[in-house]
A and B are shown apart, each in its own frame.
Chain A
Amino acid sequence: MKNTQQTQPLISIKDLVAKYGDKTILDGITVDLLPNEITVILGGSGCGKTTLLKNILRLYEPYSGTLRYWGQDVLSMNEEEFSFVLKRIGMLFQNGALLNSISIYENVSIPLEQHTKLNREVIDRIIRVKLNLVKLSHAIHLFPSELSGGMKKRAALARALALDPEILFCDEPSAGLDPLTSAALDELLLDLKSQLNMSIVIVTHELASIHRIADKIIFLDSGKMLFYGTLQAAKEAGIPQIDTFFEVGKF
């Protein structure tokens, strides 16, 4: 399953500005994210990480700038056109964002029932596989309120993976998880990348996780992008904020 678009950026962001009212949150972000890589967006609290993620997903409309997926300008697309893009991407929200009134099984089945014409048996198998990937086979009929925080997050990941997205976005996937669960989640993300050529964009603070999985990092500080490149290069770049971030986070 070799990707023929290797040379083309997966997501191309140019001069992206995001504002809440008059307050500028992101100021002129320009970056090309490449396929089959795990890109980690990091920086201190309030630097605009989640805002960047939500602007990339058009959950917030950028104030100005351009945003391209697979070379296509998505900011000029209407809702229907953008929905075709959305079907190719998956999003894991910070708190899972599962629908509380339905079971885990039904949560994972939503995208499969809404966006495919597969029969029930095939959908059933896909759901079982996706829940098995996140080690939640035993919780298939439970409701979100019956799950722990980590289980909710894993169930939400199964839902995000339901349609085999080409790009997976994760907002703080390891936050609140124990080290073992967090490491297992990282392993799963690495498997998804290597086995299925999935591209992954993650917002996280967890240094252990960043060291395990990051191919590239985007370092934000006060709404500006200070660095984009490999983790090693970031550490060698001599940027004081990055050095402090990794130094203070050492244990």
Chain B
Amino acid sequence: MGKPVKNPSKTSLAPLVQVQGDALILSGELIFSTVPAFGEQTSKILKKEKPVMLDISGVQRIDSSGVAYLEELQLALQSRKAPKAKEPKPGIFLLKGINDNTRPVLETFSSLKLPDIPMAEHISFFEGIGSGLVNGFKAFGESLVIAADVFFWSFYGLGNRSGQRKGSFVQQGVALGVQALPIVALLSFIIGFILSLQSAVQLRNFGANIFIADLLAVTMVREMGPMLTAIIVAGRSGSAIASEIATMQVTEEIDALKMMAINPVRYVVVPKFHAISVVMPILVAFSILVGELGGLLIAIGYLDLSLESFVNRTIEILTLKDLVVSMAKSIWFAWVIVVIGSYYGFQVKGGAEGVGKATTASVVASIFAVILFDALFSLLYL
């Protein structure tokens, strides 16, 4: 077995461009690898000479790039003769020397008689804004329809579990809840720890060490617990919901369900809706507890508070309303995440690319919606 040659392509004959009288004579091989060299030689010659004929009798081999180049050359030369002409008229500029080697390739790859390429639709700046707004309203309307569908079937499904796969509630509960526990715990602990550390430095300056418990309890219960958990769930489970439904959509699984007289929302979305409605408050409660734990470490280690005083103060400051609002928020955020994930999943267009776009859009929209609703809750239940 011989040593492999680095470039096994056929060796091509060097390009040569000459002028004889009125004719521009090309010889060698007019192929992908030599066309740029032909172009350089020709442009140098055309600065001085004005040929009216192309002679390709010396061209041994030609391919589609050679044909395209010849046509571009003809166009350039033709425009020189008649500056207003946009396209060469075949036959006016003489191409001679076509032989049996080059004829079939020229015939196959000639673009002179091709129709013009239809221009890609150009959308102006204001048209873009207008159509963006229209599409936005349309999407909002469609998302409301899907939301209504999801809510209707989810509440209906509480009493009637037909149309749902057996065991899907538990399966979804594990996927959306149990598997999210470690990441929720880790991030909540870190957030609780950082919040307390940053606040502790300031509080100690004023001798208000005990208020670390107030600060952390209110922050974690009212805001950080529900919002942080919702953002994690939106990124983790919301994306999974969107990509699962989108994949089912592009692989026609959703159509297959419809053809089996199964409502895809009931079969695919409702178990997720039920499961997330149960696991989200648990995750939020867990997040608050672990966040408090992170703060407790600072309170004891940095501010010299006792465990008892920290816990007592925390219980004192929290009201039932705080806990109820926190849980209500968590359930509402969960529903928002499921509805947005489902909306983007069902609206997917295209193949794998569409699935990726739907997933990304769903995560961005979910996080945006979660923060927006959190702000609304804060305003309503300050």
The residues of A with any CB-CB pair to B shorter than 8 Å are 1-2, 69-70, 72-74, 76-77, 80-81, 84-85, 87-88, 100-101, 103, 115-119, 121-123, 125-126, 128-130, 132-133, 137-138, 140-141, 143-145, 163-164, 191, 194-196
Contacts and interface: CB of A to CB of B under 8 A. Distances in A.
A101 B351 CA distance: 10
Nearest to B102: A1
Contact of B67 (A77, A84, A129, A143): A129
A85 B39 contact: no
B104 A196 contact: yes
B120 interface: yes
Contact of B104 (A117, A137, A145, A195): A195
B65 A128 contact: no
A125 B108 contact: no
21 contacts: A72-B2, A72-B8, A76-B4, A84-B7, A87-B9, A100-B350, A100-B353, A116-B32, A116-B35, A117-B36, A118-B36, A118-B68, A128-B117, A129-B68, A133-B108, A137-B114, A138-B118, A144-B350, A144-B351, A145-B349, A164-B32
B259 interface: no
A163 to B, nearest CB: 6
A126 B6 contact: no
Contacts of A133: 108
A123 B32 CA distance: 10
Contact of B111 (A76, A128, A163): A128
Nearest to A133: B108
A121 to B, nearest CB: 5
A204 B108 CA distance: 26
Contacts of B33: 116
A145 B117 contact: no
- Interface centre among A73, A74, A122, A126, by most chain B C-beta atoms within 10 angstroms, is A122
Given A73-B4, A118-B65, A128 B36 contact: no
Contacts, number: 119
Contacts of A125: 67-68, 71-72, 111
Given A1-B101, A129-B67, A137 B8 contact: no
Interface in B82-116: 101-102, 104-105, 107-111, 114-115
A140 B63 contact: no
B350 A122 contact: no
B32 A163 contact: yes
Contact of B108 (A74, A81, A101, A191): A191
A81 B7 CA distance: 7
A138 B116 CA distance: 9
- Interface centre among B1, B68, B114, B118, by most chain A C-beta atoms within 10 angstroms, is B68
Nearest to B117: A140
Given A129-B110, A137-B114, A145-B353, A122 B65 contact: yes
Shortest 5 CB-CB distances between A and B: which pairs? A145-B350, A125-B68, A100-B353, A195-B104, A141-B120
A73 B32 contact: no
A118 B32 contact: yes
Contacts of A191: 108
A141 B118 contact: yes
Contact of A195 (B31, B108, B118, B120): B108
Interface residues of B, number: 45
- Interface centre among A1, A77, A132, by most chain B C-beta atoms within 10 angstroms, is A1
- Interface centre among B5, B65, B108, B351, by most chain A C-beta atoms within 10 angstroms, is B65
Contacts of A141: 117-121
Nearest to B76: A121
B378 to A, nearest CB: 40
A4 to B, nearest CB: 9
Contact of A76 (B1, B31, B36): B1
A116 B31 CA distance: 10
A45 B39 CA distance: 50
A84 B64 CA distance: 19
A195 B105 contact: yes
B61 interface: yes
A195 B110 CA distance: 13
B332 interface: no
A138 B109 CA distance: 17
A132 B105 contact: no
A195 B107 contact: yes
A119 B8 contact: no
B30 to A, nearest CB: 11
A111 to B, nearest CB: 10
B58 interface: no
Given A101-B353, A122-B69, 18 more contacts: A1-B102, A80-B6, A84-B7, A84-B8, A85-B8, A116-B33, A118-B32, A123-B68, A128-B114, A129-B64, A130-B64, A132-B111, A133-B108, A141-B118, A143-B350, A144-B351, A163-B32, A164-B64
B157 interface: no
B5 A72 contact: yes
B354 interface: yes
Contacts of A122: 35, 65, 68-69, 72
